[in-house]
Amino acid sequence: MCGIVGILMRPHPEPAIDSRELLEGLAAAGRAARAAVNDFGAAETQELAMTLSDAASGLAGWDRRLRARPSVRALVRDEALRAAIADAVRPCSAAVNRLGARLDDGAGRLGDVGLEAVNRAGAALADAEWAIRRDRLRTAAEVGALAPAGASDAGLDVLIAVQQAFSSLDRLEIRGRDSAGLFLLLSGHGLDLDDPAIRAELDSRAGDPLFGHRAVQLDVGRIGLVYKCAEEIGELGDNVRFLRDAVASDPLLAAALGSPDVEAAVLGHTRWASVGRINEANAHPLNDAERPPRVIAAINGDIDNHADLTVLENLEFDSRITTDAKVMPVLMSRRLAGGDTTFDAFRETVAAFEGSLALGALTWDDPSRLYLATQGSGQGLYVGLADHAFVVASEPYGLVEETSTWLRLDGEAEPDRAGAGWGEIAVLDADRAGELEGMERYSAGGSPLPVAPEELDHAEITTRDIDRGEFPHFLLKEISEAPRSVRNTVRGKLREDATGRLRVSVGERTLPEAVERGLREGTVARIVVTGQGTAAVAGQGIAGAIEGRLRERGLSRPRVDAMPATELSGFHLAPDMHDTLVVAVSQSGTTTDTLRTVNLAQRRGARAIAIVNRRNSDLADRADGVLYTSDGRDVEMSVASTKAFYSQIAAGMLLAVAIADQVAGGPDERPAADRLLRELRNLPGAMERTLALRPVIAAAAREYAPRLRDWSVVGNGLDRIAAEEIRIKLSELCYKAIACDATEDKKHIDLSSEPLILVCATGVQGSTAADTRKEIDVYRAHRATPVVIASEGAAFPSAAAVIEVPEVPPELSFVLATVVGHLFGYHAALAIDDLARPLRAIRAAVDDVVAGGKARPVVRLREVAGAEIDAVSEGLAGGGYDGNLHVGRAVRLAVALDGLVDAAAGGEESALAELRDALTPAIDDLTRHIDTIKHQAKTVTVGISRHDQTLGRMSLDAALRQAGSPEESISAEDRETMSALDPFVDQVLGYVRYRLRAGGDGPPPGDDATIRVLRAGGLCRDLQSRTVRQPLLQGTKYMVAVEGRLMAARGRTDGRVFIVVPEVTDGEVSALVLIHVRFRERAEAPALRRLLSDYRERYDGLRDHVLRKAPEFDDRLLAELPVEDLLIDPVAQLADRWRTTHSGGAS
């Protein structure tokens, strides 16, 4: 995975913000926020939410004005104003913090709906306050740090673009960070080429054949500056810090920034190398190495046929350039030299590539245009529409600091003609930067695809959600945030009654009346908790909580099960599931397998409750009830999810008590029940105390993780759930196949491997604790290394190490064991990665020595990396690498290092080549990426490619929204018809939205009208549309376009059933949405009579046709015909099916 960044700007004509007006406005917002929080206990809920919303809106308005470049320039030049703004937003910051505390203490009085409204308003206030304090002020400070004395307004605008690129790269580093680069193409630079200092810089930096760090290209009044760094695996942020320092210290850039006319196009990249060595020559952006220069490019993905293209096109590169991506700028440049237009050269170059790719390119002749393309599964680029600017990034989190609105270029957009490839192309024009009109979109085949406003997406997150803060890794940040996630999850749902006892209140949004009634009356006989991965493990904990609360009340029903969603959908679905309640757990709400399983269960009559983090997610929309974890937008940037597990368990505990209360007919009055809820409320504090044990946990990880090869995790009871979750995280972080067993089972399984065993024993008591101690004695007797996670005061004398967590009830203690396990996994991965550091240093030194071409390279290598060579040799000999380095690779590396000693003067080059070849697989064995996972790109591709899933039980209106139809474009008549059809739709399978273009004679839209696909979802993503080969509007779609009203139909060739809904703009049909559906098989006659009366007058027409041949019309026979046939078959054909006697029924 890699990341592309691009910035285009146009001049910003507005004046700078009025500082007095700004400070007064911020002060007013602060007063309003402070007053709202002060009045928390007395104000009406609606008034409180409205006051907070008004304060948030005011702050957000000032944030938008502060984003404007004239305002940024003013802040850069006025440090006192920045300080005054920081002071002015401080009351809002305090209000945000105090609001959280007030909600923790008094959310119960707000009610479920009121709490949601106040939460949303508080989140909006926090977003706006954060944006000003952390985004606007930081941007100004960072630009100021980059700016040389004497920078013009235009020069500061260039640096603002550079800062935006750095912010984006910093966030995209999670996709890969072994190298990074930034290219600035400057026009109007005003450099005096006769100035001796300028000339000296140009002479020393121009002509670099590798286009490496600080290389310069100069031609036709423009200058290109490139900054690069290449490190094996540095810390997050290291690359951007290096690039930032390079930009700030560049005398050529400093001189150019003084010009009043300077402008810049910016292209940046962060790389995870898959083809080619990690060095500056292979770091992107890459040039064409032609004279004159023409093209600069950056690429995500692999050009699978680059070797073939290199031969076919007679390409020759410096031997140090080994990346596949180099062919892109060179081939495009040659097409330009051959007379192609820039667009054709770019499109045809991309079309020649095989593989899954995203590309960005700038051309020397016209730096005001940025060329973008996506091709293949898993590839996307996001074009953000910012204030007088376009900001391009490979992920939405790369541009949300500047804009919340973007267009995604889809690598899987279908071909528009035979022979054309998949994907899309876009050309951005700086002269219209930030406007929809400044964006030209094309199919991969080159056909224009105008962008409609409704195709734009809008962010649900801000930089507040994705900021890493002072943490070295997102993973550590997210583990550390877990207590807050739990606190937010239980907020407002644990309420004291008049007797002082805590009660659970989740509200009707979570437990709808129908579900409550089923639990009370006993018609819910089975509860199944399901999810995938970590969510499935949390589901085990939730199922245990539900079963435990029922058992404590002496209740044996409903039966409670937990299983992965794939197991439920594959093996445990019953034909009739009206007696089943499915509890679906998902962090994102978009997990394909979980969504599919919920759909299948709902089709069979089951009800579903979602425990989910994301508001407005697919799962939240489809479930009958929803219980949000944390605040409904608790973003996790690390691939290894951690804090979601804790909030899911907390939500599950709440749901368990709520379910038991319904089944039992009232709340649990036992003191033990009250104590458990109080312990749940206090759980975040216990988690924070556990996090404080990190130094102890880190020491244990450093001691045992590097040298022990085989690992396992064990536990009993609820601790077994902690063991399962820890196993997943250890496997993800440390790249090991790890066993998970019951504590007593381990001695029967694999003690012969002498493993490192993490023993989760926080919930063991009495005889179970004694048995656990005996098991640990057995482990030690078989030379295993048990590390025990236990509650305070527990004694396990045979353990190699004991990590004691705060004592909490057994129902909750496994949560603290999981905290320890997550931290152990983090520090174990760091410890293993530390083993690779000296190897990386040696490999870098080998490359430098070989590139230097000096005599006696082995001696030179010893001078540069002797300490690292000795450390690795000693580690190999002493067993320090035994736990994680493959035996064959360790032997090969040891032999290569020994070969340095015996290398004769003539054999030094081959000895270094052998050493490098041995180092590379060893480094790969030992590198641990922490926030990302090896082969993540393949995982993402597989996930994104799974478009063969249905959309499930949803309304037709919801399908229209997913397709992107504007609400106002659907007529009131069609909306009424859809409402009538909804109860008869068993499942929505997919949708296709078409843009319609009028043409030809006949009634509008004309007999030559054409359509093209705008968007497809569900099953339709993989269906080949006829319109690709023949875009002419015809058949049912033509009829709907002419009539302007909804119609159900059946495909003539494939028999698929669909509903076509017209969109009307200015009185004309402008688009069509085809919704593939499956109707219910049968329905009751009265309901069908009402439906057919509402839908295209079918009932009257059918009745008239029947009465022509029969003495009476018996509409009871409607119930004997398929719903699909009643809506679609010709009325005359349906009437023939009434040819029966009164006693026979429909034929």
Q: Are residues 172 and 99 in the same domain?
A: no
Q: What is the pLDDT of residues 660-691, one digit of tens each?
A: 999 999 999 999 999 999 999 999 999 999 99
CATH code of the domain containing 346: 3.60.20.10
d(CA 166, CA 162): 6
CATH code of the domain containing 1014: 3.30.450
What is the average pLDDT across 212-234? 86
Distances in whole angstroms, Cα of residue 945 to Cα of each of 285, 630, 942: 28, 30, 5
Q: What is the pLDDT of residues 472-508, one digit of tens each?
A: 899 999 999 999 999 999 988 998 888 989 999 998 9
Give the model's confidence band at 942: pLDDT under 50 very low, under 70 low, under 90 confident, else very high. Answer: very low
Q: Are residues 418 and 444 in the same domain?
A: yes
Point out the domain boundary residue: 145, 173, 189: 145
Question: Helix, strand, or coil here: 266?
Answer: strand
Question: For residue 937, is pLDDT > 50?
Answer: no
Which residues, in sequence order, are CB contacts of 773 under 8 Å at separation 6+?
Answer: 795, 796, 797, 798
Q: Are residues 1004 and 1092 in the same domain?
A: yes
Q: What is the pLDDT of residues 459-470, one digit of tens each?
A: 878 888 888 888
- Starting at the earlier edge strand, list the strands of the sheet with 756-761: 739-742, 711-715, 756-761, 785-791, 801-805
Question: For residue 1054, is pLDDT > 90?
Answer: no
Share of the chain above pLDDT 70, in %: 93
Question: Helix, strand, or coil here: 1078?
Answer: strand
What is the average pLDDT across 288-306? 85
Q: What is the pLDDT of residues 552-585, one digit of tens each?
A: 999 999 999 999 999 998 899 888 899 999 999 9
Q: Are residues 444 and 547 in the same domain?
A: no
Q: What is the pLDDT of residues 791-848, one digit of tens each?
A: 998 889 999 999 999 999 999 999 999 999 999 999 999 999 999 999 999 998 998 8
- Structural domain contains residue 1144: no
Q: What is the pLDDT of residues 229-279, one digit of tens each?
A: 987 556 677 888 999 999 999 999 999 999 999 999 999 998 766 666 777
Q: Are residues 447 and 386 in the same domain?
A: yes
Q: With 0-12 CB in 10 A as exposed, 13-18 as middle and 19+ as buried, what is 1081?
A: exposed
- Of residues 1016 and 720, the one with the higher pLDDT is 720
Which residues, in sequence order, are CB contacts of 891 under 8 Å at separation 6+?
Answer: none
> Of all helices (H) and strands (E), which one includes residue 685?
helix 671-691
Question: For residue 713, is pLDDT > 90?
Answer: yes
Phi-psi region of 795 (alpha: psi -120 to 50; beta: other; left: phi over 0): beta
Share of the chain above pLDDT 90, in %: 57
- Structural domain contains residue 4: no
Question: What's the number of domains the chain is made of?
Answer: 6
Q: What type of residue is 756?
A: L
d(CA 70, CA 17): 7
Give the per-residue pLDDT at 1028: 53
- Structural domain contains residue 1145: no
- Structural domain contains residue 78: yes
Dihedral of the alpha carbons of 844, 850, 851, 853, in degrees to the nearest 10:
150
User: Which among 940, 946, 935 has a CA at the least distance from the CA of 566?
Assistant: 946
Q: What is the pLDDT of residues 592-634, one digit of tens each?
A: 789 889 988 998 899 999 999 887 788 888 899 999 998 777 8
Dihedral of the alpha carbons of 1025, 1027, 1033, 1034, in degrees to the nearest 10:
-50
Point out the domain boundary residue: 122, 145, 168: 145
Question: For residue 1025, is pLDDT > 70?
Answer: no
- Of residues 824 and 936, the one with the higher pLDDT is 824
Most confident of 36-50, 181-195, 1075-1089: 181-195
Q: What is the pLDDT of residues 733-776, one digit of tens each?
A: 999 999 999 998 888 887 777 889 999 999 888 888 899 999 99
- Structural domain contains residue 940: no
- Structural domain contains residue 947: no
Give the per-residue pLDDT at 418: 60
Q: Are residues 908 and 1012 in the same domain?
A: no
User: Which among 100, 155, 90, 142 has a CA at the least distance from the CA of 123?
Assistant: 100
Which residues, in sequence order, are CB contacts of 295 under 8 Å at separation 6+?
Answer: 287, 288, 329, 330, 332, 333, 336, 361, 362, 363, 364
Point out the domain boundary residue: 805, 830, 855: 830
Which residues, in sequence order, are CB contacts of 297 under 8 Å at separation 6+?
Answer: 267, 284, 285, 286, 325, 328, 329, 332, 359, 360, 361, 362
The DSSP string of 871-933 is: HHHHHHHHTTTTTTS-HHHHHHHHHHHHHHHH--GGGHHHHHHHHHHHHHHHHHHH---SSS-
CA angle 79, 83, 85 (to 5 degrees): 115
Give the per-residue pLDDT at 419: 63
Q: Are residues 842 and 815 in the same domain?
A: no
Question: For residue 939, is pLDDT > 70?
Answer: no
- Structural domain contains residue 28: yes
User: Which among 28, 244, 30, 249 has a CA at the least distance from the CA of 129?
Assistant: 30
> Scanning the structure block, which residue is given the tokens 């590198």?
927
Which is it for strands 756-761 and 785-791: parallel, antiparallel or unpaired?
parallel
Q: What is the pLDDT of residues 52-111, one digit of tens each?
A: 899 999 999 999 999 999 999 999 999 999 999 999 999 999 988 888 777 777 666 677
Q: What type of residue is 97?
A: N
Give the model's confidence band at 945: pLDDT under 50 very low, under 70 low, under 90 confident, else very high. Answer: very low
Q: Are residues 369 and 295 in the same domain?
A: yes
Give the model's confidence band at 512: pLDDT under 50 very low, under 70 low, under 90 confident, else very high. Answer: very high
Does the CA dihedral 286-289-290-292 come out positive or negative? positive
The DSSP string of 457-479 is: EE-S--HHHH--TT-SSHHHHHH
Q: Are residues 841 and 894 in the same domain?
A: yes
Average pLDDT of every residue of the chain:
88
Which is it for strands 607-612 and 625-628: parallel, antiparallel or unpaired?
parallel
Q: Are residues 555 and 655 in the same domain?
A: yes
CATH code of the domain containing 635: 3.40.50.10490
Question: For residue 1138, is pLDDT > 80?
Answer: no
Question: For residue 643, is pLDDT > 80?
Answer: yes
C-alpha radius of gyration, the chain, whole number:
33
What is the average pLDDT across 529-541? 96
User: Contact, 244 vs 166, CB < 8 A?
Assistant: yes
Q: Are residues 390 and 298 in the same domain?
A: yes
d(CA 802, CA 7): 53
Question: For residue 950, is pLDDT > 70?
Answer: no
Give the model's confidence band at 420: pLDDT under 50 very low, under 70 low, under 90 confident, else very high. Answer: confident
d(CA 685, CA 689): 6
d(CA 36, CA 204): 62
The CA-to-CA distance between both ends of the chain, in Å, stands at: 60
d(CA 487, CA 194): 66
Count CB atoms within 10 A of the CB of residue 955: 16
Question: For residue 1144, is pLDDT > 50?
Answer: no
Give the per-residue pLDDT at 1141: 38
Q: What is the pLDDT of residues 331-380, one digit of tens each?
A: 999 999 999 999 999 999 999 988 888 999 999 999 999 999 998 766 77
For residue 575, give its domain range: 482-496+504-666
The DSSP string of 81-130 is: HHHHHHHHHHHHHHHHHHHHHHHHHHGGGGHHHHHHHHHHHHHHHHHHHH
- Structural domain contains residue 942: no
Question: With helix as H, strand as E and coil as C, how does 813-842 read?
Answer: HHHHHHHHHHHHHHHHHHHHHHHHHHHHHH
Q: What is the pLDDT of residues 424-453, one digit of tens each?
A: 999 999 999 999 999 999 998 899 999 989
Question: For residue 1013, is pLDDT > 60?
Answer: yes
Count CB atoms within 10 A of the CB of residue 782: 15
DSSP percent split of the chain into helix, strand, coil, nearest 5: 50, 20, 30
Question: For residue 924, is pLDDT > 80?
Answer: yes
User: Which among 666, 704, 514 has a CA at the least distance from the CA of 605?
Assistant: 514
Give the per-residue pLDDT at 959: 86
User: Contact, 949 vs 943, CB < 8 A?
Assistant: no
Q: Are residues 988 and 1058 in the same domain?
A: yes
